[in-house]
Structure 1
Amino acid sequence: MIFGEKLKTERGKKGWTQEELAEKLFVSRQSVSKWENGQNYPSIEIIIKISDLFGLTIDELLRSDEELTKQVIKESKQLAYPKSKFIFDVLFLAGVVLLVIKIGVLLLNRFTSLDVTLLGGRFFWNVGPLILMVFAGIGSGILKEKYKQD
């Protein structure tokens, strides 16, 4: 049995109209209609709510429909993507911050009588920001390509 048929059957067992189910899920009646007719699928959050409402396992809902299973897998990858991308964005930003600090200290030393020394050595301050930014850019690009393929 595909998801739409399963949803319609379970809704019927409870004696609910599409409108009543929609209210319980905080969606429109049209959304419920589209799900039942196989024109569209709910998000994973809605699937969890449906599972709770009807006392079914998510497995019972997903295994009934291969297309829905594929969509849920795709959505889960989309949820993981921003978290991974955030790490690369933070690394890139750290590289930019280090570079700005280095340039600021160089300008400060050049135009004032201060002699500020950067801790960590020349190699760290000369190459560190570049390594962070390049690594983050490459990692972000690889992640973007992997996400496109999935």
Structure 2
Amino acid sequence: MDFGQQIKTIRKEKKLTQVQFATQLHVSRQAVSKWENNKNLPDIEMLIQMSHIFDISLDQLLKGENNHMNNITEKVIKDGSETRKAKYNMVTSIIGGIFLLMGLLMLVIKGMSVEYVDAQGILHENFFLLPLGFLSIFCGLILFVSVGIRALIEKCKAKSLTVKE
């Protein structure tokens, strides 16, 4: 049984109309109708509320009586995967930005610092800032490029899947 049919059956067993059910969920009756006709799927927060209203476990609501994956289970898995990818991209971009800023800061410090020769004839220079600065900038750029390429690949995959369907 697909998800829409399942919630319709449970709703009727609980003797709730679409309007009553929608009121309890704080959504429109049309939203409930779209869910029951598999034209749309609720988000995870709405699923949790449904499980409370129906007084069934979230597992039973997602998998149904036969414990097989249905369209809502696939949606929840897909949403979780997309969330993980978005978090990965965000963290990688932040780290790349930190590397870029550190590299630029090192180059600025190197440019503003004074090199001098002391009384014993020893040169005092913070030469190490140049390679470290360039290395940090390079690492930051690599991270940004890798996130961009990964995003392009994901878009191409998504586009090819929609074309095939």
- TMscore range, shorter length: 0.7 to 0.9
- 2:103 is matched with 99
Higher helix share: 1
TM-score of the pair, normalised by structure 2? 0.72
TM-score of the pair, normalised by structure 1? 0.78
Aligned partners of 1:81, 1:148: CA distance in 2, in Å?
A: 15
Bigger CA drift: 68-77 or 132-141?
A: 132-141
- 2:23 is matched with 23
Aligned partners of 1:73, 1:138: CA distance in 2, in Å?
A: 25
Unaligned runs of 5+ in 1: none
Bigger CA drift: 68-77 or 118-127?
A: 118-127
Aligned partners of 2:30, 2:127: CA distance in 1, in Å?
A: 63
Alignment of 1:1-150 (within 5 A): 1-64=1-64, 66-109=70-113, 121-142=129-150, 145-146=153-154, 149=157
Residue-by-residue CA offset, 1:60-93 (whole Å, 9 max, x unaligned): 2222462222211111112212211111111111
Bigger CA drift: 56-65 or 6-15?
A: 56-65
Distance 1:12 1:131, change over 3 A: same
Unaligned runs of 5+ in 2: 116-124, 159-165
* Alpha-carbon contact 1:18-1:29 (below 8 Å) kept: yes
The structure with more radius of gyration? 2
